[in-house]
Amino acid sequence: MTQTPRWESPVERAIREAQERGDFDDLPGAGKPLDLRDANDPDWWIKRYAARENLDLGGALPGALALRKEAAGYPEALVDVTREEDVREIVADYNKRVLADRLRPAVGNLPPLLAKTLDVDDMVSQWRELRASREPVAPTTPVPTTPVPARRSWWRRLLSGS
């Protein structure tokens, strides 16, 4: 048993007692060197946290970068949209947000970062091509269907006894 100093703080005492109990034995990573690959990066901790927790940091991007990232996903992001009017509405909303972002004041000495507006008709034509290439081919022979007999309501079955 180690000799305790004349005075020790409550934190030091808790650590010493945990070491004596063996609470720190067999911890993961014990005896392995520290990972210092990104020691010069001031944001190392948030990058490691995001990687460890599988977080999407897209919401933390500045406005123009988030808009550029959104535009990079088009038209593939629109493939599940079924109506052309909805595609036009989505792209028009994107363009409105781009124009609203341009009205924000610039910060610092650098020129503001801008996102491009999208051509609605061009995006709709790309969406049509993508939808046409992904639509399943209809079978050439009709599939025979058997008619389903109509069921009587539960109270008629109860009254008739069947």
Question: Which tokens sit at 52?
Answer: 């460890």
- Do 71 and 129 lie in a common domain? yes
| DSSP secondary structure code for residue 8 in this structure | -
- Check if the beta carbon of residue 76 is closer than 8 Å to that of residue 84: no
State which H helix or E strand residue 39 sits in. Answer: none
- Do 87 and 121 lie in a common domain? yes
Residue 77 located in a structural domain:
yes
- Do 43 and 90 lie in a common domain? no
- Do 82 and 100 lie in a common domain? yes
For residue 131, count CB atoms less than 10 angstroms from its CB and return exposed for 0-12, middle for 13-18, buried for 19 or more: middle
pLDDT tops 70 at residue 144: no
Give the rounded percent of residues in the chain with a pLDDT score beyond 70.
Answer: 83
- Do 34 and 82 lie in a common domain? no
- Do 46 and 68 lie in a common domain? no
Number of domains in the chain: 2
pLDDT at site 15: 93
**Residue-averaged pLDDT of the chain:** 83
pLDDT at site 64: 85
- List pLDDT tens digits, range 28-68: 888 888 888 888 989 888 888 988 899 887 777 788 888 88
Which of 13-17, 81-85, 145-149 shows the lowest mean pLDDT across its residues? 145-149
pLDDT tops 70 at residue 2: no
Q: What is the mean pLDDT of residues 67-88?
A: 89
Domain that holds residue 91: 61-104+114-134
Q: State whether the Cα torsion 151-156-160-162 is positive or negative.
A: positive
Q: Around Cβ 127, how many Cβ atoms within 10 Å? A: 23
- List pLDDT tens digits, range 92-124: 999 999 999 888 887 778 777 888 999 999 999
Residue 160 located in a structural domain:
no
Identify the residue whose tokens are 């599988």: 54
pTM assigned to the model: 0.53
Contacts of 70 (CB under 8 A, 6+ apart): 77, 94
